[in-house]
Amino acid sequence: MPESVNEINEARVKLTRAGLDLGTQTLPLLAGSVHYWRLPPSAWQGALVALVEMGLKLVDTYVPWAVHERLPGVYDFGESDPRLDVVRFLNLAREAGLYAIVRPGPHINAELTRFGIPERVIWNEACQARSPSGRRVVLPVPPLGFPVPSYASRAFLDESGAWLRTVAERLAPLRYPEGPIVLVQVDNEGALYFRDGVYDQDYHPDAIELYRSFLAEEYGSVEALRERYADPGLSFESTEPPRRFSALTPLDLGRHLDWAEAQEHVISRAMRRFRSDLVRGGLSGLPFSHNLPLGENATPLDPAELGHSVDLLGLDYYHLASAESVSSIARRTSELAMRADAHGYTAFSCELGAGFPPFFPTHTPGDNAFTTLCALAYGLRGFNMYMAVQRDRWIGAPVDERGHKHESFAFWQKLNAALEQTRFWELERPVSVALVVPRSLRRLFRALHAFGPLSSAWFEIAGGGARDACVEDDFGLGGSHVVETASFLRELEQRLEALGIPFAYSGSDTFERALGRARWVIVASSGALKPELVERVTRARSEGLAVSFAPFLPERDAAFHPLARVPASFVGERAPLVLPLASAELEQALARTCESLALPKLLTPPPAPARVTVHVDKSGRPRVAFVINPERSATTVRLELPELRAAADLLDGTHFRASTTTLEVPVGPLSVRMLALETDGLAS
């Protein structure tokens, strides 16, 4: 959200679904990362020209606090070390025809020791996050573990604010249209520095104070808090957060869920502070972004909360080519696309892996291409290649430090040309079914995580998630509803894929947009949901819209207290009130509902595990298709599409001629074809 009315009035750049509105043009978000301070200034121009030759429109760069700071409050912006002249670097970018994304932190990671935060700040006890026992929380990351800062610490926020205001003053004259800066990122992957277990941190005194303030705002009166927690001795001033999972009954869960939600508020509050400091320093009139890391839905990063702090939320992608990766990318990207559509900005990857850090598993150029094309297949419309140009602590960028082009350069050049040719950022992937996973359910997944300080995000990244990592205690509910709900969602995905029904994920914050885009909305429910969401579903059903719960009817609120009014079904509804958990019954319910709703199929689904997605223009004409082969052996996929005449591979130029609207498309192992479609009356 904008910082102030003044910031709205002086908006220099606006977000749109197709990119950035610069007033005279819409700029697609196609960027590449270059770290100026890691290259000799003599290499800057060659690196920037290489980005232009790749077909990119923007250069992305961090501005690292620890690298620029010489003494507390004393910074070098090129006065002593020419490598640190960020202003000169950005002016060269403008001369090369590029716009710029700047990312001044305070946390930047960037594979820097201490993630780019000065050592004096990291070792200041007042700035450090705290464990349940009050000890500092250390992140054991190469090349050197370090204590992580607290997003609640006043001392850390004040130190960060001094840096952010200073760097903003230096960069403010380079805002568009006087300079190339068109987008600013606030912080980086704000998941508590990857120490994001619910009971891992943050028990800093300032965090506990914010927790108590959160409870006061949430409950309004101490009597309401005492009633909810069934503890007549509580007060807002003395309530302590839980330091381990200790719930024995459903009613015990509320205390743990409140602590998980309070962590979300702490992060969002810090992001607002960072943004405010950047605006106060002069970086006003520009949109602000933040990037969500892998496994984002298992972290304390709540998109609805963060949406009050920044204007654009993007994702980071670092996947290996596999069937599991396709499923993960489909979930993540389709939800990103739904959120971007709801808020009127581009579905953007703030970091799309082009190479990898040395402590990651090896990511080949094939892995990076596979990930990129799968993300585009499920709705990504812009990206930042991380890294576009090689530097220390990075392997496999398409351009090296001397400006020489590696073999992968050709892929990115062809891909960007294909995106330009099809104006891909203007296309849409039609969706028939939306799967809404409420934030309260994801918060429950986090609270029930059974592996202590080991982040549940790692289970998401590995393709598992709640079904593999949650406590299986049924709390007297007659079954492990959380685990069963997570497993149900995976089965539902597979069945929709087999039926050829295009689906997308959504959060509860984009429920209304899901209703507008999809013909059928299915709300995941473990039996407990926020009353507001239950009421929204009930209202939508009364208006004749097809909305269902699955796999359990919500009979309790999100804190597991009985709902005052349980939703009921009535004759004539277009979709069942609750989709069943049992496989055989689910199959029948899906078939009946898809038929009764006449859900459109753009294409006949290929046999699993191959996948195909189709993207249409504003008139509804199919323009681009992606054919995905996630297996380690080559295959041929039959692409059946009404009025299909021919197709051309946008990357290798192969042409395919349809026989009675069917194409035979050979696809190599672990690869994706991006096809321009020619249908009757339209040549793409």
Query: Can you tell me the distance from the alpha carbon of 181 to that of 171, in angstroms, rounded to the nearest whole number?
Result: 8
| Angle made by CA atoms 247, 253, 258, in degrees to the nearest 5 | 125
Sign of CA dihedral 165, 170, 172, 174: negative
Query: Can you tell me the distance from the alpha carbon of 573 to that of 537, in angstroms, rounded to the nearest whole number?
Result: 13
Closest CA to 78 of 160, 180, 167, 15: 167
Query: Can you tell me the distance from the alpha carbon of 134 to that of 199, in angstroms, rounded to the nearest whole number?
Result: 12
Identify the H or E element spanning 336: helix 323-343
Query: Can you tell me the distance from the alpha carbon of 379 to that of 365, in angstroms, rounded to the nearest whole number?
Result: 21
Q: What is the DSSP string of 82-122?
A: GGG-HHHHHHHHHHTT-EEEEE--S---TT-GGGG--HHHH
Residues 144-176: pLDDT tens digits?
999 999 999 999 999 999 999 999 999 999 999
pLDDT attached to residue 453:
65
Residues of the chain predicted below pLDDT 70: 1-9, 450-454, 456, 458-479, 681-684
Q: What is the DSSP string of 247-280?
A: --SGGGHHHHHHHHHHHHHHHHHHHHHHHHHHHH
Query: Can you tell me the distance from the alpha carbon of 147 to that of 152, in angstroms, rounded to the nearest whole number?
Result: 15
**27: three-class secondary structure by DSSP:** strand
Query: Can you tell me the distance from the alpha carbon of 421 to that of 83, in angstroms, rounded to the nearest whole number?
Result: 37
Residues in CB range of 619: below 8 A, 6 or more apart: none
The torsion angles phi and psi of 343, rounded to 5 degrees, stand at -105, 0
pLDDT attached to residue 656:
95
pLDDT attached to residue 481:
84
Q: What is the DSSP string of 346-412?
A: --EEEEEESSB-TTSPP--HHHHHHHHHHHHHTT--EEEEETSB--TT-B--SB-TTSPBPTTHHHH
Residue 392, number of CB atoms within 10 A of its CB: 11
Residues in CB range of 471: below 8 A, 6 or more apart: 245, 448, 449, 450
Query: Can you tell me the distance from the alpha carbon of 329 to that of 238, in angstroms, rounded to the nearest whole number?
Result: 44
Query: Can you tell me the distance from the alpha carbon of 615 to that of 621, in angstroms, rounded to the nearest whole number?
Result: 8
Place of tokens 């349809």: 658
Angle between helices 86-95 and 41-54 (to 10 degrees): 40
CB-based contact 52:97 (threshold 8 Å): yes
Polymer length of the chain: 684
Identify the H or E element spanning 456: helix 456-461
Query: Can you tell me the distance from the alpha carbon of 572 to that of 567, in angstroms, rounded to the nearest whole number?
Result: 15
CA distances from 420 to 398, 536, 549 (A): 20, 40, 41
CB-based contact 36:89 (threshold 8 Å): yes
Query: Can you tell me the distance from the alpha carbon of 417 to that of 48, in angstroms, rounded to the nearest whole number?
Result: 18
Radius of gyration, CA atoms only, the chain: 25
Q: What is the DSSP string of 495-514?
A: HHHHHT--EEEEEGGGHHHH
pLDDT attached to residue 436:
98
Query: Can you tell me the distance from the alpha carbon of 608 to that of 629, in angstroms, rounded to the nearest whole number?
Result: 9
pLDDT attached to residue 626:
97
Closest CA to 371 of 359, 354, 356: 354
451: exposed, middle or buried (C-beta count within 10 Å: 0-12, 13-18, 19+)? middle
Amino acid of residue 474: D
Q: What is the DSSP string of 274-315?
A: HHHHHHHTT--SS-EEEEE-TTGGGTT--HHHHTTT-SEEEE
Identify the H or E element spanning 54: helix 41-54
Query: Can you tell me the distance from the alpha carbon of 315 to that of 344, in angstroms, rounded to the nearest whole number?
Result: 16
Amino acid of residue 11: A
Cis peptide before 202, with omega less than 30 degrees from 0?
A: yes
Query: Can you tell me the distance from the alpha carbon of 328 to that of 375, in angstroms, rounded to the nearest whole number?
Result: 10
Query: Can you tell me the distance from the alpha carbon of 649 to that of 373, in angstroms, rounded to the nearest whole number?
Result: 13
pLDDT attached to residue 442:
94
DSSP 8-state assignment for residue 318: -
Query: Can you tell me the distance from the alpha carbon of 42 to that of 45, in angstroms, rounded to the nearest whole number?
Result: 7
Place of tokens 């104070």: 209
What domains are there in the chain, each with its CATH number?
5-192+265-426 (3.20.20.80), 433-596 (3.40.50), 611-683 (2.60.40.1180)
252: exposed, middle or buried (C-beta count within 10 Å: 0-12, 13-18, 19+)? middle
